[in-house]
Chain A
Amino acid sequence: MKKTAIVAVMVILLAAVAYGGGRTEASQAAPADRNVTLNVMMSFPRFTEQMEAYFDQFREKMLAERGIDVTIVLEMPSSEQYNNILQTRLSSNDAPDLFTLHASADLPTYQKAGYLADLSDQPLAATLYPNVRETVSIDGKVYAVPFESTVWGYLYNKDIFEAAGLEPADTLDEMKRVVEVLKANGHTPFLLAFQEQWVPQLMTALALGGKVSGHVPDWVERMYANNGSYREVEDVLDIIELIMANGTPRAMETGSEQGAANFANGRAAMFVQGTWSAESILSVNPNIRIGVGALPVNNDPSCTMVNLATTTSLAVYSRTPEREMALALANYILDQEASSALYESLKFNPVATVHQFDQFPWAEDASAYVAAGRAYRDLVLPPAVTDEQGKLLQSLYVNQIDREDFIRIMDQTFAAANSAR
């Protein structure tokens, strides 16, 4: 009897402990079956906070669904240093599991070097909008998750334009009239921020894109075959000279961020800068109404186009030891439930069917050009050529060279880039 009582008490106590333990377990997250560490490198430090929060969500999801405790080590070098660091890491066998790349400028080189995992059979690939999918595909295979898909032209201040009764110009003559009206109303037409050469280079990107797509579609191909010249697209310099002659002073002293702040403060009515600077502009003046216009090159409206491109995209390292989890993270970037909030908070455009949010007003302006068939895909030029264009535009601005020099040097640079390939 005594024994029976002791056994009964023990059973009750064990049951109580088991019940209590069960309660405790249920109130906490499930214990991890295994731990995984993913190294992620991205090139936009301004979004560190948002990305860390998003990766925390992924960590919780993996722990709950698969019992895997994922630690994500996020590195965000500055965009100027990013490519150097990534190249060093890749060539020293210390590659991150996932890393961002410029979709048109870098993706082909890294894919050719064999560093990128094929994502075509992943769920994310099926959700991409067709025109966006093209921008991250090589030979029909998807190699990256698009982050920043941009449709961009020049930015204009809608309030200033409406007050002056102006619409974005479709031809060069119309643009000249817009410039005169703005000046008559006491506004500086263009914001110039040429301290970093990639900003003036945007003018060549837009003007050349429009001119080539509209008038000489085989120009790039012929330039690669040493059978073309910048003389054929010389009129791109007309709009560039118009902008330089009617811009804010001290352009060489103004960096891109300062330029965005000056534009936000209404120092000029137009700014040849992509929609990626919208966040910087709105952080200075949340009430500014930004519009996007296509930059006219000449008097043929068919050359007046916006650029349709994917800039930043996220790739998975082909030889990552944590392939399964790296792919899971890549897919989570376009997660059905979570992705919309992420892209909206980053002020990025929708890139996939999972994105259920309204476009920003400036993106709607730009999309209207796309809908009208007035958009061109990034011209794929050698990086040395793009770099030289920016440098020469700085030199043109400070009167170190003239148009003839520009054409001659660019032809030489393209030929040199061809022979170096």
Chain B
Amino acid sequence: MKTNPNIRVLLFAAPALLVFIAIKLVPVILGMGYSLTNWNGIDPSWRYVGIDNFVEIFTRDAHFWTAMVFTIRYSLFVVILLNVLALGLALAIESQRRTRGLFRTIFYLPNMISMIIGGYMWNFIFTQVVYHFSDNWGWMFFDQSWIGDPTRSFYAILTVAVWGGAGYLMVIYIAALQSVPQVLQEAATIDGAGSIRRFFSVTLPMIKQAFTICLFISLNNAFQVFDVVFALTGGGPGRSTQVVAINIYEEAFARSNRFGYATAKSTVLFAVLLAVTAVQLWIMKRREEEL
């Protein structure tokens, strides 16, 4: 008996789909429901407040928008740095014959550590280890506050985020580089193209899909960043490194137990993220078609 191919696909996807619905979709929908309430997360009862929470976010919550601006700035820097570094590492590793496996493992390793642990590890390095260099060896460049200074703490966060995230994107770029047909490279070489010309005219157009994927992943992760910042600076000093996810977390748990209001903020973040990634995908797809 021949089964309908659509049903077959659905059957294969069903287990993952069920898990996705249970732990992603249902909470998102419930969260959107709570965003219209004044629930405090403790009391079993709550009151429907309509769009009051959203009005407050857009008219009176300066901290949320400061955090949003910081998140956008962070995302811009981290997406560029991550992708440039990951592609650079992928190219460098692919050009090695003998040590390729070793370097691939080394650069992928940070990805094996939970970023919250990585963040605390770097917190220790920035607060205890770097001063060792200045105090004992006279390397005065290190004698400054890396996570306690509003400006430098931004760079400290970027460093850790790039350290933790580059390995994963690198693997995607390596896979893409390996799929570039060797004959094209050879033909370009015979035509007299140098290594830089080959990279821009052959390699780059051939790995455009990897770009789309890596930009999508890095942008998504950057907008939702929580763990690195939480472990490294906690959003401080003051609010100087507070990202949106920490602002939401504090609203729900640390400041006023305003769960309803915090879920309204999450909904806004969701909408912003949806818009940004939709635009990014649209642009990248058009670029792919042009290339």
A residues neighboring B (CB under 8 Å): 83-84, 87, 90-91, 109-110, 112-115, 194-197, 250-255, 258, 382-384, 387-388, 391-392, 394-395, 397-398, 400-401, 416-417, 420
Contact = CB atoms under 8 A, between A and B. Distances in A.
B238 A110 contact: no
A394 B237 contact: yes
Contact of A87 (B41, B234, B250): B41
B42 interface: yes
A251 B256 contact: no
A253 B261 contact: no
13 contacts: A109-B40, A109-B257, A113-B44, A252-B148, A252-B236, A253-B128, A382-B256, A383-B256, A387-B254, A397-B237, A398-B150, A398-B240, A400-B240
Contacts of B257: 87, 109, 383
Interface in B14-62: 40-44, 60
A384 B150 CA distance: 22
A252 B145 contact: yes
B79 interface: no
A252 B255 contact: no
Contact of A252 (B40, B41, B237): B237
Question: Closest 6 CB pairs between A and B?
Answer: A252-B148, A395-B238, A253-B127, A394-B237, A384-B255, A113-B43
B256 A392 contact: no
B291 to A, nearest CB: 46
Contacts of A196: 234
B179 to A, nearest CB: 44
Contacts of A194: 148, 237
Contacts of B254: 383, 387
Given A252-B148, A387-B254, A113 B42 contact: yes
A138 B87 CA distance: 62
A253 to B, nearest CB: 4
A388 to B, nearest CB: 8
Interface of B (DSSP majority class): loop
A369 to B, nearest CB: 31
A72 to B, nearest CB: 25
A43 to B, nearest CB: 14
Contacts, number: 91
Contacts of A112: 43
A387 B42 contact: no
Nearest to A93: B44
Contacts of A250: 127, 131, 145, 148
B265 interface: no
Interface string B162-201: 0000000000000000000000000000000000000000
Contact of B44 (A114, A195, A254): A114
Contact of A391 (B238, B258, B261): B238
A141 B200 CA distance: 76
B253 A84 contact: yes
Contact of A253 (B42, B43, B147, B238): B147
Interface of B: 40-44, 60, 126-128, 131, 145-150, 234, 236-240, 250, 253-258, 261
Given A87-B41, A91-B42, A391 B147 contact: no
A195 B253 contact: no
Given A253-B146, A253-B147, A253-B148, 4 more contacts: A87-B42, A197-B236, A252-B236, A254-B127
A255 B239 CA distance: 17
Contact of B255 (A115, A387, A394): A387
Contacts of B60: 416
Nearest to A114: B44
B142 to A, nearest CB: 12
A257 to B, nearest CB: 12
Contact of A387 (B148, B150, B250): B250
A420 B256 CA distance: 9
Given A387-B254, A397-B237, A420 B261 contact: yes
A317 to B, nearest CB: 13
Contacts of B240: 395, 398, 400
B50 to A, nearest CB: 16
Contacts of B145: 250, 252-253, 398
Nearest to B45: A113
Contacts of B43: 112-113
Contacts of B126: 253
B237 A395 contact: yes
Nearest to B252: A84
A277 B147 CA distance: 24
Nearest to A106: B42
B148 A197 contact: no
Contacts of B146: 253
A196 B261 CA distance: 25
Contact of B42 (A90, A251, A258, A394): A90
B246 to A, nearest CB: 12
Contacts of A383: 254-257
Contact of B253 (A83, A109, A388): A83
A400 B150 contact: yes
B52 to A, nearest CB: 10
